[in-house]
């Protein structure tokens, strides 16, 4: 087994690493690049808490071989807003609506919401529920999460 | 780091030595041949990776075909619809062409897995995995789809009705062959189809039961010319309820015809009791309900509605 060379964009910056062939994207992000915002739940694509965006599209990073990211653009929760700058309207809305309970699904929910609003700035409630359906909230706090996405949609449109 | 779940799939590493990303079909076939059965193809990976992590699939190398050119579009060729081998579930459920020419396929792709899964999972992979609960496989089976398989000895066409051999087993050897294309006749004006599914939740759930139906109507005679009824997961493979189909050929449009077909389909199903999917008795009853409802909706779409919704 020999390590493979992988070059891709992570949160807007080019990253080049040597990785073993079996590595999944979530393990690359958490254990090699040390970004712990992306969580691991079921490790088999059932819960969605490992969601990251690849070229703006949500994928389950626990079943996404890291080598698939070659040449692609990956966004994790760390890339949604700059460290010291203002929060993204989605993050802000999650706080204001109390859409965070234990916080474990929050990165995945926020990224999924971002992908939705980037594609459809004014979704109706069923479109929001549909787009969040791939992430399980173990606290079952779905109503507040849906409200937060509605609020984020409104604030993004009024500021844009 | 010490893993707390060593004995579960969670703690297992995916035991491969090589991850290969060929750029052409020829290169893929050469690699597969070089590994002589010790490599497996991966496209989206949403089935392969969990299988490998659970230890249910072993391979020395994974050959990632997701970047092969010319296999990711949906095309219409006369009366035929062609899906490239890398077309994703997401592409299918959001395609206006599929919604118009094979709505039942869009309906099946729209409920498979989760949005995250649909974004990467391919329709071809859904077939190659050979699972009786594969949503898209059921709709394609009812649509009389065929697949093109590429191997070192050339290409061959296989009808889906001949494709599934057993759970996880098909006529395609994913260690040596590539599914390059799926092809089926577009539904015509006098045809209608529908996909119905019963599941414990509305999202992110495997089906308890699913049925895909295509009917050809003869509105002027108020008869059913032909019907295709595909069922899953009520047997080791997705299958066509041939007895129900035979009974519907030339049958008058009536509640009784549908009732009889539903009964026949139930007799042809062999669901098992399962903690995940419910008891055998319940599921058999539900086959009847879904087939009747599916036929009724498909007929309405074919321009031959029953007076009352079954």
Task: Name the residue of chain A whose CA is nearest to B115's CA.
Answer: A134
What is the four-CA torsion angle of B203, A115, A153, A139, rounded to 10 degrees? 50
Boundary of a domain, candidates A79, A105, A131:
A79
The pLDDT value given to residue B310: 47
Q: Say how many CA atoms lie within 13 Å of B205 toward its Cβ.
A: 13
The pLDDT value given to residue A84: 82
Percent of chain A surpassing pLDDT 90: 94
Same domain, A55 and A17: yes
Same domain, A95 and A56: no
Interface confidence (ipTM) of the complex = 0.96
Low-confidence ranges of chain B (pLDDT < 70): 1-6, 307-310
B97 touches chain A (CB under 8 A): no
> Measured between beta carbons, which residues in chain A are less than 8 angstroms from residue B204?
46, 48, 133-134, 136
B3 touches chain A (CB under 8 A): no
The pLDDT value given to residue B26: 97
Same domain, A63 and A93: no
CATH of the domain at A96: 1.10.150.120
A148 domain residue, yes or no:
yes
Distance of CA B268 to the CA centre of its chain: 19
Same domain, A59 and A109: no
Size of interface A-B (CB pairs under 8 A): 85
Mean pLDDT of A94-103: 96
Same domain, A64 and A93: no
Please state which CATH number belongs to domain B74-184.
3.30.465.10
Same domain, A24 and A68: yes
CA proximity to B46, closest of B148, B132, B131, B167: B131
The pLDDT value given to residue B201: 87
A64 touches chain B (CB under 8 A): yes
CATH topology of domain B192-301: Enolase-like; domain 1 (3.30.390)
Same domain, A68 and A101: no
A44 near B53, Cβ under 8 Å?
Answer: yes
Q: Where are the domains of chain B?
A: 9-64, 74-184, 192-301
Judged by CB atoms closer than 8 Å, whether chains meet at A130 and B203 is answered as yes
A41 domain residue, yes or no:
yes
CATH of the domain at A36: 3.10.20.30
Same domain, A95 and A41: no
Judged by CB atoms closer than 8 Å, whether chains meet at B119 and A58 is answered as yes
**B260 Cα to chain A: minimum distance (Å):** 37
- For residue A112, the enclosing domain spans 89-159
Q: Which CATH class is domain B9-64?
A: alpha beta
**Higher pLDDT among residues A78 and B277, named by residue:** A78
Domain total of chain A: 2
The pLDDT value given to residue B275: 80
Same domain, A94 and A139: yes
Whether the CA torsion A45, A51, A52, A56 is positive or negative: it is positive
Whether the CA torsion B271, B272, B273, B275 is positive or negative: it is negative
Beta strand segments in B115-172, E: 146-151, 154-159, 164-166, 169-170
Burial B53-90 (b: 16+ CB within 10 A, else e): beeebebebbbbbbebeebbebeeeeeebebbbbbbbb
What is the four-CA torsion angle of B80, B83, B84, B88, rounded to 10 degrees? 170
**A114 Cα to chain B: minimum distance (Å):** 14
Judged by CB atoms closer than 8 Å, whether chains meet at B45 and A64 is answered as yes
A122 domain residue, yes or no:
yes
- Residues 115..134 of B with a Cβ closer than 8 Å to A: which? 115-117, 119-120
pTM for the complete prediction? 0.95
Those residues with Cβ within 8 angstroms of residue B128's Cβ, 6 or more apart along the chain or in another chain: B41, B170, B172, B174, B179
A21 touches chain B (CB under 8 A): yes
The pLDDT value given to residue B4: 63
A84 domain residue, yes or no:
no
């Amino acid at each position: 087994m020999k390590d493979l060379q992988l070059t891709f964009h992570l949160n807007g910056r080019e990253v080049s690493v040597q990785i073993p062939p079996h590595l999944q994207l979530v393990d690359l992000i958490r254990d090699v690049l040390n970004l712990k915002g992306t969580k691991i739940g079921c490790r088999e694509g059932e819960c969605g808490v490992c969601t990251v965006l690849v070229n703006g599209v949500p994928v389950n990073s626990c079943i996404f071989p890291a080598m698939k990211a070659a040449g692609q653009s990956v966004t994790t929760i760390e890339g949604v807003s700059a460290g010291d700058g203002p929060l993204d309207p989605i993050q802000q809305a999650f706080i204001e609506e109390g859409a965070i309970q234990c916080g474990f699904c929050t990165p995945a929910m926020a990224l999924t919401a971002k992908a939705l609003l980037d594609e459809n700035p004014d979704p109706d409630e069923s479109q929001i529920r549909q787009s969040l359906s791939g992430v399980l909230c173990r606290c079952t706090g779905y109503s507040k999460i849906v409200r937060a996405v509605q609020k984020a949609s409104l604030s993004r449109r009024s500021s844009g | 780091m010490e893993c707390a779940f060593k004995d579960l799939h969670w703690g297992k590493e995916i035991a491969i030595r090589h991850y290969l990303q060929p750029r052409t079909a020829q290169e893929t076939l050469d690699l597969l041949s070089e590994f002589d059965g010790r490599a497996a193809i991966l496209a989206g990976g949403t089935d392969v990776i969990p299988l490998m992590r659970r230890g249910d699939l072993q391979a020395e190398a994974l050959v990632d075909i997701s970047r092969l050119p010319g296999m990711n579009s949906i095309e219409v060729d006369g009366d035929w619809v062609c899906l490239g081998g890398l077309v994703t579930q997401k592409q299918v459920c959001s395609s206006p062409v599929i919604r118009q020419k094979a709505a039942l396929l869009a309906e099946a792709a729209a409920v498979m897995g989760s949005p995250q899964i649909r974004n990467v999972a391919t329709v071809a992979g859904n077939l190659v995995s050979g699972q009786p609960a594969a949503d898209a496989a059921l709709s394609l089976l009812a649509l009389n789809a065929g697949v093109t398989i590429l191997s070192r000895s050339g290409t061959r066409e296989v009808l889906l009705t001949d494709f599934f051999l057993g759970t996880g087993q098909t006529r395609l050897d994913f260690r040596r062959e590539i599914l390059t294309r799926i092809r089926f006749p577009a539904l015509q004006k006098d045809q209608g189809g529908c996909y119905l599914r019963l599941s414990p939740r509305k999202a992110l759930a495997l089906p308890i039961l699913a049925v895909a139906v295509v009917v050809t109507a003869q509105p002027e005679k108020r008869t059913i010319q032909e019907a295709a009824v595909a069922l899953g997961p009520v047997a080791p493979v997705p299958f066509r309820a041939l007895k129900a189909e035979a009974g519907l050929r030339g049958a008058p449009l009536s509640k009784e015809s549908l009732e009889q077909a539903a009964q026949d389909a139930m007799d042809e199903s062999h669901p098992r009791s399962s903690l995940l999917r419910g008891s055998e008795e319940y599921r058999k009853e539900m086959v009847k309900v879904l087939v009747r409802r599916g036929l009724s909706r498909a007929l309405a779409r074919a321009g031959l509605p029953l007076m009352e919704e079954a």
